[in-house]
Chains A and B, each alone.
Chain A
Amino acid sequence: QVQLQESGPGLVKPSETLSLTCTVSGGSINRYYWSWIRQPPGKGLEWIGNIYYLGSTKYNPSLKSRVTISVDTSKNLFSLRLSSVTAADTAVYYCARATATGYTLEWRGYFDYWGQGTLVTVSS
């Protein structure tokens, strides 16, 4: 059974960089896409971006200038960095496996395994 676990600081100061890691266990990170998704308290879900195990990425244009997603296949994990954070970035951050449906140039599929989520608060 694939399991994902987010880790990282729960409190980040405004203007600094949020950094989270998602460790994958019970399965290999290889041959899959992986995602970060966030949810502000009491609100809906927002897709941040995807990464393929070979390193190619796709980001939400609304965050693209501030987001970097990277992968370390040797450690079976992938990471999120979000720079210049503000209070609007306060959210529960989830990592998820993004399984593709078919073979298309751009990832299309579904999020079938999720981490438990980690709350990141942006505050001084």
Chain B
Amino acid sequence: DIQMTQSPSSLSASVGDRVTITCRASQSISTYLNWYQQKPGKAPKLLIYAASTLQSGVPSRFSGSGSGTDFTLTISSLQPEDFITYYCQQSYSTPKTFGQGTKVEIK
């Protein structure tokens, strides 16, 4: 199985901060990497697919980059609704696996 490791597991930041979350795959996954956000009690919502393509309707403050084994999700200016949990997910091979999540909290 391909292990997806996110760092940090949690972070504290303020509204307006620039935040970067990292996702590392245990082997190369090309750009088959997606990012989701999840509010408590809700289904995950797709933010970015294929490592860097912004899903329709997602604000442009979200961006993704990377290929191979190292990927990043950047939020350029945190908004109050962004203080939730983020997951990366690889679809390169079976089983499709998710990172453990990164919780973004208000400082």
Contact = CB atoms under 8 A, between A and B. Distances in A.
A55 to B, nearest CB: 17
B44 A45 contact: yes
Interface in B32-64: 32, 34, 36, 42-46, 49-50, 55
A44 B4 CA distance: 12
B98 A47 contact: yes
Nearest to B34: A110
Contacts of A45: 44, 87, 89, 98
B91 interface: yes
A58 B87 CA distance: 22
How many of chain A's residues touch chain B, expressed as a range?
20 to 34
Given A111-B44, A116-B43, A60 B91 contact: no
Contacts of B45: 114
Contact of A106 (B42, B94, B100): B94
Interface string B77-96: 00000000001010111111
A47 B42 CA distance: 17
Nearest to B47: A110
Given A45-B89, A110-B91, A101 B97 contact: no
A109 B36 CA distance: 13
Contact of A117 (B43, B95, B99): B43
Which interface residue of B42, B50, B93, B96 has the most chain A CB atoms within 10 A? B96
B32 A108 contact: yes
A109 B87 CA distance: 15
Contacts of A50: 96
A61 B55 CA distance: 29
B33 to A, nearest CB: 9
B97 A47 contact: yes
A29 B102 CA distance: 32
Nearest to B96: A47
Interface of A: 44-47, 50, 58, 60-62, 94, 96, 101, 106-112, 114-117
Interface of B: 1, 32, 34, 36, 42-46, 49-50, 55, 87, 89, 91-101
